Structure 1
Amino acid sequence: MRLQLSSWAITRPIPTIVIFLALTIAGIFSFIHLPVTANPVISFPIVTVTVTQDGSSPTELENAVTKQIEQAVSGIPGIRHIYSTITEGISTTTIEFDLNIDAYIATNDIREQIAQIRSDLPQTIDEPLINRVDVEGGAILRYAISSDTQSIADLSWFVDDTISKQLIMIPGVQKVNRLGGADSIIRVEPDANKLAALQLSIISINELLRNVHQNSAGGSSKYNDLQHTIRVLGEKKNIDDIKNIQLPLSDQQWVKLGDIATIYLGQKTTKTVSQLDGKDVVGFAVFRAKGSSDTIVAEEVNRAIAELTQKHPDVAIELVSSTVKYTESSYHLTIQTLLEGAFLTIIIVFFFLKSWRATLVAAIALPLSILPTFFILALFDYSLNSITLLALTLVIGILVDDAIVEIENIQKYIERGERPYLAALKASDAIGFAIVAITLTIVAVFLPVSFIGGFVGKYFVPFGITVSAAVLSSLLVARLVTPLMAAYLLLPTSKPVKKDNVPKWILKYTRFLLVTLRHRKLALSLALLFLIGSVSTIAYLPAGFMPEGDISVSQIDVELPPGTPVEETNKAISHLAKLLGDREEVKSIYTIAGISDDADGIAQHKGQLILTLIEPHERAMSQKQFENSIAHLLQQSPDVRYTFSNSDGNKEFSLTFTGTDPEELEAAMHTLRDSIATVKGINNVRVVKPLLRKELIVTPSTDDLGRTAVSADEIANTLRVASMGESNSRSAKFNLPERQLALQVILPDYQKDDLNVLNNLYVRSNTQLSVPIKSVTNIDFSDGPTQIDRVNRSRKMVIEGNLEGLTLGEALENVKALPEYNALPLSVEPLEDGDIEYMNDMFNRFSTTMLFSVLLVFAILIILFKDFMQPITILAALPFSIGGAIIALVLYGAMIDLPVIIGILMLMGIVTKNSILLVEFILEKERRGLSRENAIIEAGQERIRPIIMTTFAMIGGMIPLVLTTGADAGFRAPMAVAVIGGLLSSTVLSLLFVPVIYSFMDDLKKKILPQLAKLTSVTEADRNVKHW
C-alpha cells in the first residue's frame, strides 16, 4: 500500500506551506485567547426544592413536606439521587440527575410535579422555591477586609456597595458574595414590661410599622383638565418621626412608639464572626463567569482591589485564598514540562541521527502539531485546564514520533547514497502505511474516552479530543511537512554506507533475535512467565480515586453542640488558631464562626479554619504530613468536633448508609463506628449525626385556646418576633439615599432571653383582645434534632474519618471485611456516593472503554492489513506493556487511580507502534520474495533504530513529569511512571518476542487458510481478474 500524499507535498511545496502557515497563525491566535481555568466546564443537572415554614421542627417538616416532595419527584426519569436536608423551619430537597439529562427540562419537570401536590402541602408554608443549581465552579478568590476606623457593619456596607459594584463590572466576574459581617438596621426594641402594662402584643408594633411607614400608589385623578397620579406618602423621614408614630390601645387611647420602645441605628444580631490572624474582618468571595479565564479575571480583580486600597487608605484588603494560584502554578508547570520534554526529545533525536538538519526537521513537528491543536480546542470552546494541558503533556513524545520514523527512514536512504530529494520521495512512500496505521491506532484508543459517560467521562471528553487532535495534526506534519523539509534541507552524504554494513549494536540484537526464533517455544514461555509474574504484582498496588495533592491550604471544619452561640464557637476556633499559629508551616489563618448549613441558614455552632501554608519547597513536610502532625491538637476538647476536609468540603473517608428505621440505623452506625476505629490507618472515626439541641416546648391548652380565641400561629409569631425579630422580607423598610434599612422589631437582649419575660408577653386573639401567653400555654424543656438528612427517600447517616497511610480503596476493602459491616440489619443499606462512587464508576467505565478501544484498534488493523492474524501479533505487545507498568508502579510505590489509568490508556495507544513497524516491514519483505526468517531478521535490523528512537523520545517527554515538584506532582508522576515502565518492557519484549509470535501466527494462518479455502468456490484466478 503506497500513499502518495508525501510525494504531492514534495513536488508541490507551496500549498503545503500555505496550509500550515494558516494553521500556525490560527493556533497562535487561539492560544492567546483561550481561557485558563482549573478544570473543564461540566454542567451538572441538579435541582433544589426549598420549602420554609417558620417555627416548624425538622420532624414535622419531614412528615408534612419532605416526604411528599420526594414521592412526587421520584417518578421523573433520569434521577440519580434524591437528597433532603431538614432543619428548623427549612426543608431542602436536592435532586441529582444523570449527566445526559438537560438541566432546564429537569427543572420544568420538577416544577410541574410540585405544582400538582401543592394543595397537599401545609397552607402555612411559603411557596416552594425551585432552582437549578449552577456548580460550574466555586469562588476563585477570597479576600478579608479590615479597618481600624470603621465598624464591621460599615465594612459590610463597603463590601456590598463599593467593592461589589466595582468588581461586578469586570468582564468575567459572575458575582461577589460577602462572607460574614453585619447588616445595619433600625432596631425597634419595645420594653416587655411596658407592653405587658398596656396589654400590647409585639406583633401589633410590627404590623403597624408595615402599614403606616410606607409610600403607596392611590390611583389617578383628573384635575383642571390634567391627569394627576395619586400618591400616599407615609414613609417617615428620620428616626424621630418613627418615634412619634401613635399606637392605638384597646380603650380608645394612644401611645407614642418612642414612649414604649428604644429606636436607634444598630446592626442585625451577629451570627457569623470572621477573623484573619486573630483580627475581626469581613470576607468576600469572587466567582468567575462561565467561559472566562481564571487568570485574566484574577488579574483584573487584583488590579481593581489595588485601586480601591489607594482610594480608601483606611481600609486593608488582604487575599486569603486563591484557586487561581494553583491554576497558574499548574499552567506554568505544564508549559515548563512541555518545553523540557521537547528539549529532551530533540537531544535524543540528535544523539541518534547526529545531524542538526535532520534534528531540526524532526523538531519542527512539535510546534506544527501543537499549535493546530489549540485551534481545535477553540473550535470546541474548551479552555486550557488541567485536563487539556495534561493531554498535551502526555503526547509531547508522540507528536515527534511520526516525524522521527519519517526522517529516520529518509536519512537511511541518504546514508546509502540517494540524493535528499529522491530519498524523501522513496522513503516517505515506503513508510507511509506504517505511519498512518500507528496514528489511527492511537486515535482509536483515545477517541472512545470522549464517550465514556458518567462524571469521569464528562470530565475527560476534552482529554480524548485534545489527544486525538494533536496526534492527527502530527500525522499531517509527518506526511506533508517532514518529507518536504527533508527533501529541501537535508544534504547528501559524501560517504555512502553499504546496506550490509550493520552497526555492531544492531548485530548483537540480531543474534538475540535469532536465538528466540530458533527456540520459539522457550522464548514464548519466558515471555508468558514475565507477563504472569508482572501482572501478579498488581496485588501489591492499592486502589484509589485521586492522589493527594499539596495545594498549601488546609481546611478544618469545627462543630460544637447545637445551641452554642457564635461567640462561644469563635472562642473555640480562636483557641485552636492560636495553637496552630506558632507552627512554622503556617502562613496565615482565616477563621469563620457561624457558617451556612445545607439549608442556607446560619449554623452558629459550626465554623471553619482555613490554614494557608508556605510553599511546598519551603517546608520540610507535605500538606498531608502537616495535617497528621496537628491531629492530636484536635482531640483535646471532647465537646468539639474537628475534621479535615478538602477544598470542596469532602472528607477523606466517608461511608453513607440509609435505613427505613431511624433507631435501628443509628444503633448499627455506632456499632460499626467502634469496629472501624480498630482499623489501622483510619483515624478520628465518627458517626456524623445532628446533635440534639435544647428546645423550649410551648404547648397551648386546647380549652384555653377555645375560650380566648387565640390561635397557635399567633403564639408562634409573637414568640418569634420577640426573640428573633421578623425576617427582612416581612419588615418595614427605612429608605436612605443609597440603600434600605430594615425596621426590625425585637425585644432588647436582656429581655428576649428571659423565660419570665416571654411568659408574660401578650398575644392577640381573634376578638382583638390580648391575653398573656402563660395563661393559654405551658412551657417546658426538651431535646430535639437540629437536622434530619435523607437520601433516596430514606434516613441517612454517615461515618467519616481521616486516612493515614491508607488509600481510599484499601480503607474501603478493610472496612468491608469487618464482621460488623457484613452483619448490618436488613433495614440498613450502604450507599455509594462521593469519592467511593466515583472510584467504582471510574474502574467500571474505563475497563469497558479499554476493551472497546482494543476491539476498535483490532478492527482498524484488520482493515489496514487485510488480515485477521497479524493484528493479533501487533496487539501482543499490549500485555507486555501493562506488565512493565505494574512493576514500575510497585517500585515507585504508587496506587492504581485515575492518573495511572490514563497512563495505561496512553500505553495502549503507543505500544502497538513497535509491532506495526516490525510486522509491516516483514510483510513487505515477504511480498518481495524473502523467506520468513530473513524477512524478520531484516525487519529487526531496519526498524530497531526508529523503534529505539521513538521509545526514548517518548520517555524523554515523560521524565519531566516524574521529576516535577509542583502542587499536582502527585497526579502527574505516577502516570508518567506507568508510561515509562510500560514503554521499556514493551520495547524490549516487542523486539524479541513479537517476531516469535508473528512466526506462530504465520504457521497457524498457513494451516487454517487451506481448510477455509475448501469452503469457498473463489479461486486465485478469480481474484486476479480485473474489475471496476
Structure 2
Amino acid sequence: MVSPLKLFKNSIYNVQTGISMSIYKIAVNKPITTVMVFTAIVVMGIFSLVQIPVDLYPEMDPPFISVMTTYVGANAGDIETNVTKQLEDALNSVDKLKEITSNSSDNLSMVNLEFEWGTNLDEATNDIRDVIDRIIDFLPEGVERPTIFKFNTSMMPIVFYAVTAKESFPGLEKLLDEKIVNPLNRIEGIGSIGLMGAPRRIIYVDADPRQLDAYNLTIEQIGNLIAAENLNMPSGNVKMGNLDYQLRVQGEFTASSVIGNIVVGNMAGKPVYIRDVATVRDSIKDLSLDEKINGEQGLRMFVMKQSGANTIKVAREVRKNVNELQSQLPPDVKINLIIDTSDFIKGSINNLSETLMWAFIFVGLVVLFFLGRWRATFIIILTIPISLIVAFLYLYITGNSINVISLTSLSIAIGMVVDDAIVVLENITRHVERGATPREASIYATNEVWLAVIITTMVVVAVFFPLTLVGGMTGVIFNQLGWIVSITIVTSTLAAISLTPMLSSKMLRLRPKKQNSGRFSYANTIERALNYLDNFYEKTLRWVLHHKTLTMITSIAVFLGSMFLFNFIGTDFMPESDQSSVTVSIELQTGLRVEETIKTTRYLESVFSEKFPEIQIMSASTGSDDEGSILSLFTTTGSNMINFMMRFSDVEERSRSVWDIADEIRAEIDKLPEVVNYTVSTSTQGMGGTSNTVDV
C-alpha cells in the first residue's frame, strides 16, 4: 500500500511537471505566438519610455503644510505676537500633527506643520482651513487671509534667472509680465512664474496740512473721494431692436494726473481740487527687498513646473523661449541664467545611462567569452532589454519618473537578469552536445532546472521586495528600487523558461568535433582555462574542509572587523555632487534696519567677487518682499536677512570644487561679528548636497 506522504509527493511532482511541460511546449511549439507576446511587451515598454517624465529624484509628498500670512507694514515683533502666536495656538488642535514651527519676519508670518508619514494631507488641509475660518476675525485688521501651501517636490523652482535693467527698471515688472511671463505661462508643464525684487508702481498723494485747514478738509475725506472716484459703475442696459447693450460708467483712473483734477470741496463758489491741497507723485514703492545681480540693480525670476511634468523638457522650452523673447525687450534689460536644475539632472541621467550601456556590453562579452557561442550569447543578451523594458512599463502605469533611483535599480538588475537564462541555456547546450535535437533539448533541459531557477528568483525578490514596505521618506525614495528590481528579475525568469528554450530550439546547432591539429583553438583554450579554474576551486575547497576551525575563525574575524570599520564610515542621505552652485543665507541681529543689512551685503559682494573668480552670476538679496511669495517657503526673509545665490563655471573649467569654495565662503562670513547664524548649501535640489547651519 502506498503511503499518503508518497502520494502527496507524487501529486506535487505531477503538478510541477504538468505546469512546466505546458509552458515549455507552448513556447517551443508555438514560436510565433511566443515572439508576438514578447514583441508586444517590448512595444508597450518603448511607448512607456517615451511618455515617462525625467526628474532627478522620485516625486514626493512630504507630510509638511505651511501657512503663510502677510501683514504689510508690521515688524517681526508685531507679526510674532499678533499673528504667528494666534495661528500656532489654534493650529495645535489639528489631528496627527507631529511638530509645529514658525518664523516671523517683517510683513510675513510662516507657520510650518509637520505630520506623521501616511497622513492624508487633503484632510489635514481641510482641517487647517476650518481652523483659519474660526480665527480669521480675531486677527488684526489689515492682515491678509492666510495662504495654505501643501508642500510637494514639484514646487521647487527648476530655473532661476537674473534680470537687470537701468532706464527701464521702474516699469520692469509690467514689462516682464507682458513680454516674458505671459508667453512662458503658455508652455506645457509650466506651474507658475514669480518675480522677486520687482519695483512696484505707487501713486503718493502728499497733503499739505495748512491747505487742508484753509479749505476745512481732512485727509480721510480725500482718501474716501479718491476711492469713490476710482470705480467703474454699472449703469443698466439699453435694448435696441434685437440687441441688449450693457452700460457702465468708466471711472477708473487711466493716469496719475487725473487724480489732481478730482473736486474735493467748494470755497466761495469755486471748486477745490486735490491739486490745490496736495501733491500727486507717480513713483516706485519704497523697496523692502534689495536685489542686486553682479552688483547691478535687478530682480530674480524663478520658474516652477507642474506636478508630473518633465523637468528637462520644461526647462529646455523655457530657456529656448527666453532667448527668443529677449529681443522684444529694451536694450538695457538683460536676462541671465543663474541656475538650471535640469543641467544636473541631465548629467546624472546621462552618466547612469552610459553605465547601463557599458554594463550591457560587458555582460555580453563575458557571456561570449565563457560560452564561446555567438548564437547562445545572442539568446542570453536578448533577455536584458526584454527584462529592463518592463520596468519602464511599471513606471508609466504608476505615474513615476525616470530618475536616479530608477536607473540605479536597472544598473543593479542588469547583471542578474541573465543568470536564469544562462542556467537554462547551459543545460540545453549540454543536452544538445549529448546528441539530442535542439527541440527536444529545449523542452527536457528546461524541465530539469525550471524549479531551481524560480527558487533562485524568489530568493532575490525576498531581498529587494521588502524595500517596498519601508515607511517614511526613505521608503518613498527606495520604493522604486524594490519594485523595479523585483519586476525585472521576475520578467527575466519568465523569459528564461519560455523565450530562451524557444530561441534555443530554433538557433542552437550541434558543433562538429574538430580533431586536434595543434593550432590555436578558442574553444579548447576556454575549456582548458575553465578546467584549471575547476581544479583550483577543488583544491581550495579541500583545504577549507580540512581546516574548518581556521576557516570559521577567519570568517568571523573578517565579519567583526568589517562591523568595527563601519563606525568610521561617514553617512549621508544622498551622495554629494558638484552642481556648480552655492546658496548662502545669513541672519543678522533681529530688528536691524534693511539699510544697515545692505551695508553688510555690499561688503560680502565685494569680498566674494574678489576671492572667487569662478563666479559667473551672483544674486544678492537683502530684506523681504512686502507681499511675500511662494519662494518664502524655501528661503528665510526679513530686514535682517541676506540671501546669496551663486553660479560658478563648470567643474572642468575650475581648479577648486564647490565644497572648497563653500568652506572659504564660511571662513569669510565667520569674520563678521554682526552675523548671528548662517547656512551655506551646495545643492539646489534639497538632496545630494552639503548644507551647514552655523550659530555664531
Corresponding position: 1:307 with 2:336: no
Corresponding position: 1:628 with 2:646: no
TM (norm. structure 2) is: 0.84
**Distance of 1:68 and 1:567 partners within structure 2:** 30
- Which one-letter code corresponds to 1:503 in the other structure? N
CA distances 1:111-149 after superposition (whole Å, capped 9, x unpaired): 233444556x3574646425242423211111223356x
Aligned positions of 1:442-841 closer than 5 A? 442-495=460-513, 503-562=531-590, 566=594, 569-582=597-610, 583-596=612-625, 603-640=638-675, 642-645=678-681, 646-647=683-684, 685-686=694-695
**Distance of 1:239 and 1:179 partners within structure 2:** 26
Deviation (angstroms), 1:206: 2.8
Contact 1:47 1:95 in 2 (8 A): yes
Deviation (angstroms), 1:421: 3.4
**1:629 and 1:412, CA in 2 relative to 1: closer, same or farther beyond 3 A?**
farther
Contact 1:409 1:427 in 2 (8 A): yes
- Which one-letter code corresponds to 2:638 in the other structure? A
CA distances 1:616-654 after superposition (whole Å, capped 9, x unpaired): 233333211221234332234322465313436799567
Contact 2:312 2:346 in 1 (8 A): yes
Aligned positions of 1:170-181 closer than 5 A? 170-181=187-198
Find the residue that maps to 2:483 and give its secondary structure: helix
Aligned positions of 1:167-246 closer than 5 A? 167-191=184-208, 202-217=219-234, 231-246=248-263
- Which one-letter code corresponds to 2:370 in the other structure? F
Find the residue that maps to 1:395 and give its secondary structure: helix
CA distances 1:571-608 after superposition (whole Å, capped 9, x unpaired): 53344333333434333323323345758996344232
Residue 22 of structure 1: aligned partner:
40
**Distance of 1:307 and 1:226 partners within structure 2:** 44
Aligned positions of 1:8-87 closer than 5 A? 8-51=26-69, 62=80, 65-87=83-105
Q: Root-mean-square deviation (CA), in Å? A: 3.5
Find the residue that maps to 2:415 and give its secondary structure: helix
TM (norm. structure 1) is: 0.58
Contact 2:179 2:329 in 1 (8 A): no
One of 259, 266, 285 as aligned partner of 2:276: 259
Corresponding position: 1:401 with 2:419: yes
Deviation (angstroms), 1:82: 1.6
**Distance of 1:208 and 1:33 partners within structure 2:** 58
**Distance of 1:85 and 1:202 partners within structure 2:** 36
Bigger drift between 413-422 and 366-375 goes to 413-422
**Distance of 2:73 and 2:619 partners within structure 1:** 33
**1:83 and 1:336, CA in 2 relative to 1: closer, same or farther beyond 3 A?**
same
CA distances 1:532-555 after superposition (whole Å, capped 9, x unpaired): 333232232233333322111111
**1:203 and 1:14, CA in 2 relative to 1: closer, same or farther beyond 3 A?**
same
**Distance of 2:81 and 2:308 partners within structure 1:** 42
Residue 741 of structure 1: aligned partner:
none
**1:506 and 1:180, CA in 2 relative to 1: closer, same or farther beyond 3 A?**
same
Find the residue that maps to 1:398 and give its secondary structure: coil
Residue 518 of structure 2: aligned partner:
none
**1:236 and 1:163, CA in 2 relative to 1: closer, same or farther beyond 3 A?**
closer
Contact 2:383 2:492 in 1 (8 A): yes
CA distances 1:834-862 after superposition (whole Å, capped 9, x unpaired): xxxxxxxxxxxxxxxxxxxxxxxxxxxxx
Find the residue that maps to 1:581 and give its secondary structure: helix
Find the residue that maps to 2:477 and give its secondary structure: helix
Aligned positions of 1:216-365 closer than 5 A? 216-217=233-234, 231-248=248-265, 255-312=272-329, 314=331, 315-365=333-383
Contact 1:45 1:106 in 2 (8 A): no
**Distance of 1:311 and 1:56 partners within structure 2:** 39
Deviation (angstroms), 1:327: 0.9
Find the residue that maps to 2:292 and give its secondary structure: strand
**1:217 and 1:88, CA in 2 relative to 1: closer, same or farther beyond 3 A?**
same
Corresponding position: 1:95 with 2:113: yes
**1:601 and 1:250, CA in 2 relative to 1: closer, same or farther beyond 3 A?**
farther
Deviation (angstroms), 1:12: 2.2
Residue 158 of structure 1: aligned partner:
175
Deviation (angstroms), 1:419: 4.2
**Distance of 1:454 and 1:295 partners within structure 2:** 27
Residue 800 of structure 1: aligned partner:
none
Aligned positions of 1:885-896 closer than 5 A? none
- Which one-letter code corresponds to 2:667 in the other structure? H
Find the residue that maps to 2:551 and give its secondary structure: helix
Find the residue that maps to 1:280 and give its secondary structure: strand
**Distance of 2:38 and 2:285 partners within structure 1:** 65
Unaligned runs of 5+ in 1: 655-683, 688-1028
**Distance of 2:30 and 2:242 partners within structure 1:** 87
**Distance of 1:130 and 1:438 partners within structure 2:** 54
**1:67 and 1:310, CA in 2 relative to 1: closer, same or farther beyond 3 A?**
closer
**Distance of 1:436 and 1:57 partners within structure 2:** 68
Find the residue that maps to 2:301 and give its secondary structure: strand
- Which one-letter code corresponds to 1:260 in the other structure? V
Deviation (angstroms), 1:239: 3.3
**Distance of 1:648 and 1:202 partners within structure 2:** 51
Q: Percent sequence identity over matched residues?
A: 28
**Distance of 2:643 and 2:494 partners within structure 1:** 54
Find the residue that maps to 2:160 and give its secondary structure: strand
Deviation (angstroms), 1:56: 5.8
Deviation (angstroms), 1:379: 0.9
- Which one-letter code corresponds to 2:507 in the other structure? L
**Distance of 1:65 and 1:418 partners within structure 2:** 85
Corresponding position: 1:140 with 2:136: no
**Distance of 1:65 and 1:205 partners within structure 2:** 31
- Which one-letter code corresponds to 2:614 in the other structure? E
Unaligned runs of 5+ in 2: 1-15, 515-522
CA distances 1:253-310 after superposition (whole Å, capped 9, x unpaired): 9742223333243222223333333333332111111111111112222221222134
Find the residue that maps to 2:187 and give its secondary structure: coil
- Which one-letter code corresponds to 1:615 in the other structure? D
Corresponding position: 1:129 with 2:146: yes
**Distance of 1:199 and 1:562 partners within structure 2:** 44
Find the residue that maps to 1:80 and give its secondary structure: strand
**Distance of 1:595 and 1:458 partners within structure 2:** 34
Contact 1:417 1:493 in 2 (8 A): no
